[in-house]
Structure 1
């Protein structure tokens, strides 16, 4: 479905997957600020926050809403009726509700200009593939689907069809515009360093889940926040950068930048470096994805250049934070190895959150599961192979953490 024109303004149709999460709510805020630019056709969410989902659906006038279970469908139906009554819209047509494990994939297949995949976890892979197959532009916040299904996603995606939303990859995407790939010397991903920046491995031995969830900058879900605390998230982002931009791992570097103003950089062969700079606000990369190739005016506040500031950059301490190096090895191996890394990590984070595993133990178990995996290569990757690898990794990680 191509964008329609109203009063000389192109209106882009959008499907939002994961609308009640951090990514979804911020995307809706961007859309709310530019109602003449976007029309939201459908929303999906797990269903754990039916009132918010109902309010979003009625505000945006969507046609269809998807939730994960029949119980969530019943809760959403009640919330839609109650919210419609509260708005004085009793008796007005309500959105269609679909449910089930494939509901988000159904929405991703709808004719539209863009699909924003803001789902958390590898369950976002099927919707990612569905959006690509439907020919929609994929606004990708679900990094796991690319990491887990890299070879499949790359085969399905047409040039320019994927617009990354992670702040780091959006920064790289912007810095690379107009330059030939052979002009790139390396990609530099920045990381805040999380709440334990500067600590040694020994100093993190007794870290608690509460401490790990206290991210100094970003407001994210629990898994991503813990991943940021031990830099697993930055390792996953290195794999994502490799897949998105076809740059080998020996030309991808991670640096610690506590001020989180430089979101990533590209160094070119002539010695020049381009950096994308903005205050840490996810509405900026989201607006770029939603509006591409145009920018959405006033999507987020810019930098205040009248204020003095200092920016720092530090190398990653691989002894204290070995996750980046491990993830790059996993990405280099390819095939089903990234799927194993991601699945095992989710189980390790769950064990840490439940008090069954130490903070340092997350990456220790990850390294052991990865070492034991007999992986399938890139050319042999199928959805079935990925599912099998994930199942094995989850089971093995649970064994090693004592949760089985």
Structure 2
């Protein structure tokens, strides 16, 4: 990237997996990006201070206001003096900070407010926090202008690239037959449901192809993450659930495909490295040369595709159901899953009971419109509490 393309960015969730990789991209392209602000939860204050000092940021925030004194001390020890903010309101202020692009890498439903604030401030939103779009669909879509949201998930970035291939003026939805979202299958691909009865957190964290945070990794083991991605694709690309297919691709090289009505399928391929979709979302419409290592075409490759086993992994079918219900249903699906995932990690809930419990919570929920943040968060809170009750 050339000096004249310098782009100012804010990274939310900077100490997490996506956030640290986004800063890797920025560090590798110092003439392309200026990091204006950072925000994180507050659990890794030393890393946050180190990042802030390394990039000379203007502002830094921690969602845990109690961590502000420790952050100030850590910054002072490194000779850094950015504006320091605390609490959820501080993170929201960083999300609206003067910049070109906000990357929202906050994990889970906590990212909703930041997504809404960034959009309302007119920032381009590089969206890694899929949950905010899924639970706040109508709210997010109401605020977002065309092209304002750029997906960071590798699957949706792949779909976007395949659609861009249709031409610079966008694509004709009537020319698309279906989107094909690929899934690695996770660590338990090929196993029958009964074979997963004794899965431990350590087993679920052993993803075969991707290096991600624990939250997303276990969601990938249950394929809840893929269910969330189906809902996200529906909202991002305005296609019905009957036009979004999931296929298991263990090698994780084809990240997704678009099948057109004439029988042609366009696929996006690259090694499984999140820095590519991150770089593309931060630099769009340009591409960063050498953002990741390309596929070595001098070697032989074998890529396979398998149908999804909905009996062993019912989470995707459940996601289609809640996505079709709309309103507060997706928020309930997501919140119940987050509560169940925590219970599983604590050893209080069996692996198979994660999705089973989510399904029970979804079944009990009375769907209402998701017309305000308060309604979404109320459904979220109810689902978490009910999931915890059912987990005991």
What displacement does 1:83 show? 2.4
1:285 equivalent in alignment to 2:272: no
Hey, what's the Cα distance between the residues in 1 that align with 2:76 and 2:107? 28
Contact kept in structure 2, 1:18 and 1:24, CA below 8 Å: yes
Matches within 5 A, 1:112-127: 112-127=99-114
Hey, what's the Cα distance between the residues in 2 that align with 1:331 and 1:268? 23
2:293 to 285, 301, 317: 301
What displacement does 1:125 show? 0.6
1:328 to 309, 312, 320: 320
2:131 to 140, 144, 161: 144
Query: What residue number does 1:59 align with?
Result: 54
Q: For each residue in 1:300-356, what CA deviation from the matched residue of structure 2 results, as whole angstroms up to 9, or x when unmatched?
A: 111100010100000000110010000011101110000000000011111111111
Q: For each residue in 1:368-387, what CA deviation from the matched residue of structure 2 results, as whole angstroms up to 9, or x when unmatched?
A: 1001100113xx52111111
Q: Which runs of 4+ in 1 moved over 4 A?
A: none
Query: What residue number does 1:88 align with?
Result: none
Contact kept in structure 1, 2:3 and 2:32, CA below 8 Å: no
TM-score normalised per structure 2: 0.97
Q: SS of the residue aligned with 1:215?
A: coil
1:398 equivalent in alignment to 2:388: yes
Query: What residue number does 2:229 align with?
Result: 237
Hey, what's the Cα distance between the residues in 1 that align with 2:90 and 2:210? 29
1:182 equivalent in alignment to 2:169: no
Contact kept in structure 1, 2:11 and 2:103, CA below 8 Å: yes
Unaligned runs of 5+ in 1: 1-5, 85-92
Query: What residue number does 2:41 align with?
Result: 46
Contact kept in structure 2, 1:66 and 1:98, CA below 8 Å: yes
Q: SS of the residue aligned with 1:329?
A: helix
1:210 to 194, 202, 207: 202
What displacement does 1:96 show? 1.3
Query: What residue number does 2:347 align with?
Result: 355
Query: What residue number does 1:200 align with?
Result: 192
Q: SS of the residue aligned with 1:399?
A: helix
What displacement does 1:71 show? 2.6
Hey, what's the Cα distance between the residues in 1 that align with 2:284 and 2:305? 30
Hey, what's the Cα distance between the residues in 2 that align with 1:316 and 1:222? 23
2:140 to 135, 147, 153: 153
Q: How many residues align?
A: 387
Q: For each residue in 1:34-63, what CA deviation from the matched residue of structure 2 results, as whole angstroms up to 9, or x when unmatched?
A: 111111111001121122111111111101
Query: What residue number does 1:30 align with?
Result: 25
